Structure 1
Amino acid sequence: MNKTDIIKECLEARKTIITKLKMQLEGPGADGSIPNAEHEIITDIPSRRYSCGILYPQRVTLETEDTDDEDKVLDEGNLPVTDGDEASVAEREETRKLDSNVKIVGDNKSEDEDDTINLTNQWCPSSMGITFFVTGDIRSLHIRLTFGTYRVSGLEDYCYPCDVSFDYDILPSDIKNHIGLTEDKRFFIVKEPFDEKWVRNTLNVKEASPGTCNLWIPLMALAQQCNNTYHKSYVRIPHALDFQFENREEGFIDLGDSLDDTDCHLTAFCKLMDEDKQIWSITLMVSNEFKDYKLKEYEKFIFQPHLKVTIDEQDDARFFDRNQVKNGFSIDDEEERLDLLYRNQKNYGSGLGTSLQWDIDENGKGHLFNDFLPQKELPGMDFRLPTDEFTKEESEQILSMKVHSDLDGTSKEKKLAYLSRLVDSYRRWIADLEIKEKKLPDKYHRAASMNLADCKEAAGRMADGLDLLRDNEQVYTAFSLANRAMLMQRVHLGIIADEKYGKERYGNEDVQESPLGQMLTDLNEIENYCKYGDTCFWRPFQLAFILMSLKGIVDEDSTDRELVDLIWFPTGGGKTEAYLGLSAFVIFYRRLVYGKKAGGTNIIMRYTLRLLTSQQFSRAATLICACEIIRKTYGVKESGKQNRYSKKKKRKVRFSGMSRLPLACGLGTTIHQTH
């Protein structure tokens, strides 16, 4: 299989995953699309089965005489529940969950459209919408709204797919009394309700009967649909409606109320942005107008609401890029920079409580639609240095952790020359941008100038860090040791990730004699890390981040200490490696400069997700272990000989007498500390 086939197969797999994910989270189709996705039967409460793309009823507060008290909602605990009615218990639990999270809205709903838009921001939203721009005759827009509602299923709804070649006539009479076939013989249907116990008993008794061997799965599925005693099943009712504007007028337009005998309401707000060019801003809002203080009327929920607006080739209108609309509002510096950054990206609108996607050609013809699970493929990052400036060998020398560590015999002057070439390349890139700036439209010049000023400031900070490495021996030593620690960390993380060592790490008594054991024994000699470190490289932005941060760490009077540097990079781009490298530098520099007073907290890492915390703590722990080994061994005499890594008098340093490196991880209200 060649690379093209592999990519094609991966893309198909990704498409399948996304499709299945949407079916499970938004629906329809989570229960196997029986009899089909549009009319599916699900054996769970719809709002429990699906978690997005739901318009909930609007919550209503009780009118009380005491207006000083907070709004009160009826206590769901007062709802009557019959003994053994587990379905009612499940519904009550679902209601309580919603009650604890939903923001309550008042009964006196204003006619202003802001109220409808505000309903999109609730924990359980009651509305959603889209805003887009068109130019031309808005009466030619084709608006299509689709959504689904669910009702408790009945006997006539229960069905399961059947092979058209199945011979129904050979079935035993007691099975025929309970199930039948549709006229087209595509589905089993239920004549009389039955449960799973009946299925087991019947198929066991009739095990030898012809035709029953393939009925286990269909009958068990039908039994679950029939079993309304404890778990109700729900059938989906699809709704699809089409709309068009009758007039070209501004303001609020009620396109439909109680649509398709439901509580779904469609409203439009039209505003003429440019009368000469006939540029319109149009907002379409779909809302659930039913008010339910218990959120218990599941038949009143609106599921999978989707708006689609189409402009055909023959229509006298086209979609308009909102970036070209002059709204007359002043924008701040950040918005100016974003306009510059995305100047070549089309933006036809935005979503309210949902996202907006489109398929529109260069002439503004096509369609746009809302999506509750949007997706966007981003181009991959190229971490190589410019190939027109550096050969592959030069790039590897510049970015190598091994080369910049104290384990490598390359001279200090040559290592600094490598780093200097990195900074010079960045400055040449800035110079090229200055040439491109002159060709930009005038409205982008201010933002481009601000960006270039920031780039030049970053280049200056990188040069300051390079000067510190050149002039301050303690800074250079800490930088070299930080590279060694990162090299050691990368080697050990590579061992963990290597599948061929997996079995040897767990329960293998002969691990010492295995390739893994031999490798770990080999790494007891620090210099042997060089044999495994030929593939350990920095990415250019990581080295740049470390260089530009050195002055703020070393110089206590530096104005850089007033800055907060943000590494803005996609997941997997290397943000962690960048600040771990800087963390290692801080650890060694403090011990070089402050000696035994360098203890205490050096670095604080904070994460908002438990699993992310665990994964990042593992990576940090590997680095701290590497730093601890260096602290114990750097500059120590072995067998009466001076350690080769501190043979120069000016680098004779011993860390072993200093405090060891503690590592702590705090989860919730407890702290687990590891040394």
Structure 2
Amino acid sequence: MSVKENRDILIGRVKKEIIGPGSDIFQCNEDFSNEIIEGKPLQRYFSGILFPKQLQPNGSDNGQEEMKEEDEDDLTDLTSDLTEGETKEIEVFEEEDEIEKTDTQPKYTSNTFFPSHFGITFAVDKSCKSFRATINFGNYKKANFQEIKIPYNGEGIHFLEQFGLNHFVTFDAESKTLSQTQKIQRTKDGKITPEYLHFQDCLKSLRQNTDKDFALYKVITKLFFKDKYKRFENSISLDIDISKIDAAPNKHLQLKLSEQPNCNFENWNKELKENLVFHLKLYSNYADKYYIKAVLENKVQIPKDKFSLSKEKVNQVSCFQSEVKIESENLLPFRDYKTHLYKTDEDKMLDYLYREKLAFGIGHNTACNWENAQSPNTPQWIESTFLPEYDVKSQSSETDKIKGEILNIKKLSVYNTDTKSIISNLIKVSEAYKNWIEDERKSASGNELGLKNITKCEQIYSRISNGIKLLSENDNALRAFQLANTAIYLQMFQTAQHFSTKKEGFEVWERSEILQHNFQEYGKLDFPSDRVPEWRPFQLAFILQCLASFVDENSNEKELIDLLYFPTGGGKTEAYLAVSAFLIFWRRIQYATSYDGVNIIIRYTLRLLSAQQFERASKMILACEFIRTNHKDLGDKMISIGFWVGKQTVPNKLKNDNGKDAEAKLKKLQSKFNNGTYNPNYDTNPLQLSNCQWCNTKIISRLEQKSSTYQIGHRIDRQLKSHCLNDACHFSEKNGGLPIVLIDDDIYSKPPTILFATVDKFAALAWKGESTTLFNNGSNRKPELIVQDELHLLNGTLGSLVGLFENALLTLCDNPKIIASTATVKNVDKQILGLYGREAKVFPQYATNSDDTFFSKVIDESKRKYIGVLPTGKTTVVTNLQLLASLMFARLEIWKKSTDKTDADSFWTLLSYFKSLKEIGRFSNKINSELKPIIKQLQVRYLIDNYNSANNYLKLSYRNIELTSRIPNEKIKKNLDKLDIQFNGDLKDHKAYDLVLATNMISVGLDVGRLGVMIMNGMPPNTAEYIQASSRVARKNEGVVFTLYDPFNSRDLSFYEDFVQFHKTFYKQVEPLSVTPFAENALDKMLFTLILAYFRHTTQYTHNDTATALSYDEVKNDLKNNLVQLFQTHQFAQNDLELIFEKIDRILDSWRTRVQDKGDMKYYLPFKPEQSLIMPSSENSDEEYPLKAMQSMRSVEPSAEILIRQY
């Protein structure tokens, strides 16, 4: 079966288990409209339920209520005949109140937890006279024993007579069903009846004389034990005359459903019959339309002390699978596209771009959907839904106007000597874009907003054309461009040949037959896969538009910040890596004597992202270095990459760091090699380098297949040197090793070509005088490019502190080019102005429609489906457990139905996102104690819990992993590798993981193609994170995201009620980002750190012993003439500038006073505060001391230890 068909099975199972009907195996109609279930429906279903009202002791039906659910129904009858081991695994399912009882916790009415009404609001044209409303729901009553039948294939049916069960059970050979011949009374007058004892003896004999997994026993057990409930379908259609709906305030139309002509209430409870009401409210004070609110209400009242999900009456008067549907030919958009005066310019522009994506309604305690929701066409109907879904359309980066040889990376490399054809093909790119712009100008029809966008597109066209012109006129630029393309091609070649089949890497002994090619051979060899490397049009265009920033020294484009704005997984990383490769080769060709040192700084905010992206960047650097070794004119200095991050990720020192240094960690690892205790499944490489990024040989490997001895590709001499253990590799030890620098000491002594870092690490500039080498303060050119990936993460406090400190970094790099990238952005002009004091240029640029930028286009295909779930009568924690159990049961269904059992792989590993570590901690404790038993209950219910099927959940307790900040750094890479382990189709013997619990750590950088299903536990704090995190699945094949909303959270509820429209326009819904680098709090935290970093790297006062040598007047003048001048490129008020001067004076006065009081001092001596000028900001002592420097860009409160004494 296809992945999409398997996804449908998954979604179908969730709908059956969460809302119903269809959650049992008893015989019924194909559409399950008359299903029979085992146990009470309120304990079976989790959403779509319309409850009666809780009557408070004072007679009120809407008082504030502490939400609580009882679950008195037990599984005694079901489990009494199971084995002792099986019984232990099935626990009674009781729900706890998960709401924290705190003073800040809002109080909620009973309708929040047990909703007694729901509905939708929609709009119709004022010419509309009437519309049709249809109310659908199911209600359940106890089934009599004659109605209860279970499909059975007839296997071993002769045992019925053999063991005397034919008196109780009959088999219909024609319909192939088993049913009861009589109703067995279990007790009478408080005693077990003889007939029941006889039945038990017969059933016991069957069990003892047949196989444990024999289906007949299980079917009979299910047939007799526990009450069964039958569903009755209800559908009431009403033709509503709008003139009869009173539009006066506090007036509306009420229709008792049982009084309507076509209502069949034969199977309704008497109270439900009298109290099920349909309300219609008309809002007529609008010029061109009526707004109509349609609400279904259950007005049955149940006293609070009798309100329990296990009570028979509560089940009888509740409505299930509830739905309201409106049909009319006069439906109008619920919200109009209007350019309101109070909106920002950006909001007006977004309204214009999304003007065709219209909403036609909104839900109340439910979501709503309408016909043609995936298209701009006007619908003929709108309906409520408790399981809303929306297929977010994919974006294609392909265009018919640019294809084939134009995009072929090899054709753009040095392997193509026809440079004229290269230029002519590139011109086709710019011309195709120009023609599109002209078409869009016509589409704009003079609209001011559209023409404003088209002007921006024309600027992009001009820059692309100028880049092509530079290549045609400047031979050095063209050669650097071709070499950059060559590097990308070689990187892709190596990846296809060595990384596609075995991502976890090869042992050395597996590499003997793998050939390594020389540079010229790569030009002649066929590419290792069917997909020939090609640029996506936007990548090539972006590279071209950036060229002038480096080649043309008279260009002002270097001052612009180019923001690469493209959906997650679209190829942004390859685009800026190609620009980086161009700059590396350009410097070596154009500046033969000053190219060395740090060329490029690439920064990230999260360690998970930096770890994954470092590997991708390393592949490119290895390709560049391979090219350099084959081209003598590219210099004799190695092209390298350095990993500059905190010591929690990699050791920062080579030696002498209290056991945290590289030498100590490698010795510890070597001792495990020597004594045979090394375990590759648990022990990790402390240096975060797992594989050679050229040939994919493991850095820790056995040299021979039968050997138990491991070696590691690291060696410490005067520095840490890394190499590939494969002697045939171009980066083996004999060939010079890997150009990868991992230790701070080595990075400072031999600065790498690309400095790969986290933003937090740059606080070290204030503390480490030796870090001055990163800015090439000798004869080499300073760093010329800063890449900031995932720009949207630089907001709030982090963004403000980074934005302030950035002034020092930009000065030290001497006005570098800045490239940023993100998949979600809003208010970007102000954000970038706050961060860098520069103008932003977004690429690619929209013109007249949000679906088309020429370089990207929304297509009808969709890989990712979003589905919303809102619990009714259950907490989110319990619903989450049921949802996970349903998904894990569904993957078993897929496995059973598939011919190729590996088809289940796309949905085997479930990704569950939580908003906080607290939520994960609470949930992880339930995996073994609650989740496993629920999965087992499901499999028992469907009679497929045999020995083999039990492997679906038995190992769940240790086949789950976490991706959160509480996971040690050395385990992150190993956990990421575990996600790549595929399900091999063997239910009993496989190594694929079942469950991943994650926080926002995964929202960027996680790229695992096999992941196909995810649960979002509540809406994250912002929409950008929702988009980013949910984009971790369905990157390769079709997948689904279930968003579980909290009915107690008003923000969650509002997103759920507007589910379809939100997902239809969620890039528009991204909240604006805020950075305030000159706010007083930011100045107090970061200004001294900035000043310290600036002067330690722009003067001769770099070393630790020069702290007292500063001339304070010189310092003040320098600051006001240079750094403060850079401050003024940012937007802030004049009084902010006065505040900055005031704080600078206070810092310098304190510096002077400190030196005068203490005399000879260092910048910093650990554990010697009296001899140190500066103090870590995290220390508690002397909170007002102004010379505290930050050691991270994050505002972290001092930690405290709590000592618990036991008496």
Question: Could you state the TM-score of these two structures normalised by the residue count of structure 2?
Answer: 0.40
1:242 to 202, 214, 237: 237
Aligned alpha-carbon RMSD (Å): 5.9
* Aligned residues of 2:65 and 2:108 also touching (Cα < 8 A): no
* Aligned residues of 1:159 and 1:222 also touching (Cα < 8 A): no
Aligned positions of 1:367-378 closer than 5 A: 367-371=381-385, 372-376=387-391, 378=393
1:249 offset after TM fit, Å? 3.1
User: What is the letter of the counterpart of residue 573 of structure 2?
Assistant: Y
Structure 1 residue aligned with 2:283: 271
Could you report, residue by residue, the CA deviation over 1:606-657 in whole angstroms, capped at 9, with x for unpaired residues?
69xx9xx7xx976x46633422423543433xxxxxx2x455xxx4463247
Aligned positions of 1:10-409 closer than 5 A: 19=12, 22-32=15-25, 34-36=27-29, 37-42=32-37, 53=48, 73=66, 90-92=92-94, 94-97=95-98, 106=107, 128-135=118-125, 140-148=130-138, 158-161=148-151, 171=161, 174-180=164-170, 188-190=178-180, 191-192=183-184, 201-203=204-206, 217=215, 219-224=217-222, 226-228=224-226, 236=231, 238-245=233-240, 247-250=244-247, 253=252, 255=254, 261=271, 266-272=278-284, 279-286=289-296, 297=309, 299=314, 303-311=320-328, 318-322=329-333, 332=343, 333=345, 337=349, 341=353, 348-351=360-363, 353-358=366-371, 366-371=380-385, 372-376=387-391, 378=393, 381=396, 383-386=398-401, 395-409=403-417
Structure 1 residue aligned with 2:431: 424
* Aligned residues of 2:116 and 2:298 also touching (Cα < 8 A): yes
1:532 to 526, 529, 532: 526
1:14 offset after TM fit, Å? 7.2
Instruction: Give 5+ residue unaligned stretches, structure 1.
Output: 1-5, 64-70, 110-115, 208-212, 312-317, 637-642
Rate the CA distance shift 1:591–1:183 in 2: closer, same or farther, 3 A. closer
Matched, 1:602 2:602: yes
Partners of 2:494 and 2:172 lie apart in 1 by: 63
Structure 1 residue aligned with 2:542: 545
Partners of 2:511 and 2:601 lie apart in 1 by: 37
Rate the CA distance shift 1:598–1:272 in 2: closer, same or farther, 3 A. same
Structure 2 residue aligned with 1:68: none
Partners of 1:61 and 1:546 lie apart in 2 by: 68
Instruction: Give 5+ residue unaligned stretches, structure 2.
Output: 59-63, 80-87, 187-195, 259-267, 588-593, 643-739, 743-755, 759-962, 975-1207
Partners of 2:40 and 2:757 lie apart in 1 by: 44
Could you report, residue by residue, the CA deviation over 1:165-212 in whole angstroms, capped at 9, with x for unpaired residues?
9999984573134335799978534433789997874435777xxxxx
Could you report, residue by residue, the CA deviation over 1:471-517 in whole angstroms, capped at 9, with x for unpaired residues?
8888766654543343234334444787xx6799889987744xxx3
SS of the residue 2:456 aligns to = helix
* Aligned residues of 1:59 and 1:104 also touching (Cα < 8 A): no
Matched, 1:567 2:566: yes
Partners of 2:307 and 2:498 lie apart in 1 by: 50
Structure 1 residue aligned with 2:638: 655
Structure 1 residue aligned with 2:623: 630
Partners of 1:466 and 1:293 lie apart in 2 by: 79
SS of the residue 2:164 aligns to = helix
Partners of 1:319 and 1:146 lie apart in 2 by: 22
1:356 offset after TM fit, Å? 1.1
Structure 2 residue aligned with 1:66: none
* Aligned residues of 1:132 and 1:348 also touching (Cα < 8 A): yes
Partners of 2:425 and 2:66 lie apart in 1 by: 69
SS of the residue 2:136 aligns to = strand
Rate the CA distance shift 1:369–1:324 in 2: closer, same or farther, 3 A. closer
Partners of 1:137 and 1:166 lie apart in 2 by: 68
User: What is the letter of the counterpart of residue 130 of structure 1?
Assistant: I
* Aligned residues of 1:249 and 1:270 also touching (Cα < 8 A): yes
Could you report, residue by residue, the CA deviation over 1:376-428 in whole angstroms, capped at 9, with x for unpaired residues?
58588482442xxx7xxxx43321111233444343x6534432331222112
Rate the CA distance shift 1:494–1:46 in 2: closer, same or farther, 3 A. farther
2:576 to 582, 586, 607: 582
Could you report, residue by residue, the CA deviation over 1:323-357 in whole angstroms, capped at 9, with x for unpaired residues?
89688965845665566556667754444542312
Partners of 2:505 and 2:477 lie apart in 1 by: 38
SS of the residue 1:586 aligns to = helix
* Aligned residues of 1:60 and 1:107 also touching (Cα < 8 A): no
Partners of 2:36 and 2:100 lie apart in 1 by: 27
* Aligned residues of 1:38 and 1:236 also touching (Cα < 8 A): yes
Rate the CA distance shift 1:626–1:334 in 2: closer, same or farther, 3 A. same
SS of the residue 2:565 aligns to = coil
Which stretch of the first structure deviates more once superposed, 531-540 or 181-190? 181-190
User: What is the letter of the counterpart of residue 294 of structure 2?
Assistant: L
* Aligned residues of 1:545 and 1:578 also touching (Cα < 8 A): no
Rate the CA distance shift 1:158–1:494 in 2: closer, same or farther, 3 A. farther
User: What is the letter of the counterpart of residue 159 of structure 1?
Assistant: K
* Aligned residues of 1:355 and 1:374 also touching (Cα < 8 A): no
Rate the CA distance shift 1:599–1:129 in 2: closer, same or farther, 3 A. farther
SS of the residue 1:95 aligns to = coil
1:430 offset after TM fit, Å? 0.4
Rate the CA distance shift 1:199–1:321 in 2: closer, same or farther, 3 A. farther
Rate the CA distance shift 1:529–1:320 in 2: closer, same or farther, 3 A. same
Number of matched pairs: 587
Which stretch of the first structure deviates more once superposed, 588-597 or 83-92? 83-92
User: What is the letter of the counterpart of residue 369 of structure 1?
Assistant: E
Partners of 1:384 and 1:344 lie apart in 2 by: 22
Aligned positions of 1:516-531 closer than 5 A: 517=514, 521-523=515-517, 525=519, 527-528=521-522, 531=525
Partners of 2:165 and 2:596 lie apart in 1 by: 85
Aligned positions of 1:436-475 closer than 5 A: 436-438=443-445, 445-463=447-465, 465-466=467-468
Partners of 1:464 and 1:474 lie apart in 2 by: 16
Partners of 1:407 and 1:168 lie apart in 2 by: 77
Partners of 1:258 and 1:431 lie apart in 2 by: 59
1:530 offset after TM fit, Å? 5.5
* Aligned residues of 2:156 and 2:216 also touching (Cα < 8 A): no
1:435 to 433, 442, 453: 442
Rate the CA distance shift 1:490–1:382 in 2: closer, same or farther, 3 A. same
Rate the CA distance shift 1:268–1:200 in 2: closer, same or farther, 3 A. same
Question: Could you state the TM-score of these two structures normalised by the residue count of structure 1?
Answer: 0.65
Larger relative helix fraction = 1
Partners of 2:565 and 2:376 lie apart in 1 by: 37
SS of the residue 2:97 aligns to = helix
Which stretch of the first structure deviates more once superposed, 554-563 or 366-375? 554-563
* Aligned residues of 2:26 and 2:150 also touching (Cα < 8 A): no
Partners of 2:290 and 2:456 lie apart in 1 by: 38
Structure 2 residue aligned with 1:113: none
* Aligned residues of 2:621 and 2:640 also touching (Cα < 8 A): no
